[in-house]
Amino acid sequence: MESAAMFLSRCFRRTVLFVHASLLLFFTGITLMSAETADDWKQVELFVQRQQPKSALEALLPLEAKALKLQDFPEIARSIATRAILETADRPPDDGERLRMLTAAIKNAPAQTVPVLDAIGANWTWNFFLVNRWRYAQRSTGGSAADAPIET
């Protein structure tokens, strides 16, 4: 039986890999990363592989600022999603904080990035449901407001 730390590590790596792969595949035809940006992303990914989310976040913030300045929307979307993952790396997989952070980031994101970020949010919501299915099964049949927190 695997330990909780190994499970969280595996979930963290899988989520980071999924987000990076999906964003790269989606935007391959739209933009070509410069060699400098690719090297910077490799640095972020190196910190992720070493399981150092704070260092990865420090390496990511300049990338996000540069992407915002250049209006490089694929890079902006990738950095927003990656930032949400890195800031919640210490959380358990059944925690909804990552979804709340992404929802808040979408409100301030450029309009061109919203569809991709919504798709990522939908995937994360589905994964949240799968991990917390037992909680939903134990709910009462009484209704709640549509904007109620996801954990209730």
40-69 pLDDT, tens per residue? 899 999 999 999 999 999 999 999 999 999
Q: Which residues contact 50 (CB under 8 A, 6 or more apart)?
A: none
User: Which has the minimum average pLDDT: 60-64, 100-104, 121-125, 142-146?
Assistant: 142-146
For residues 95 and 107, the model is more confident at: 107
Task: Specify the higher pLDDT residue, 91 or 75.
Answer: 75
When the pLDDT of each residue in the chain is averaged and rounded to a whole number, the result is: 80
Among 43, 21, 41, smallest CA distance to 33 is for 41
pLDDT of residue 148: 65
Terminal Cα distance for the chain, rounded: 30
- Write b or e for each residue in 69-96: b if 16 or more Cβ atoms lie within 10 A of its Cβ, otherwise e: eeebbbbbbbbbbbbbbbbbbeeebeeb
Residue 29, pLDDT score: 44
116-136 pLDDT, tens per residue? 999 999 998 888 888 887 777
Q: Taking Cα atoms as reference points, which of 128, 58, 111 lies closest to residue 86?
A: 58
Alpha helices in 33-72 (DSSP H): 35-49, 53-70
Q: In the chain, pLDDT over 90 holds for what percent of residues?
A: 47
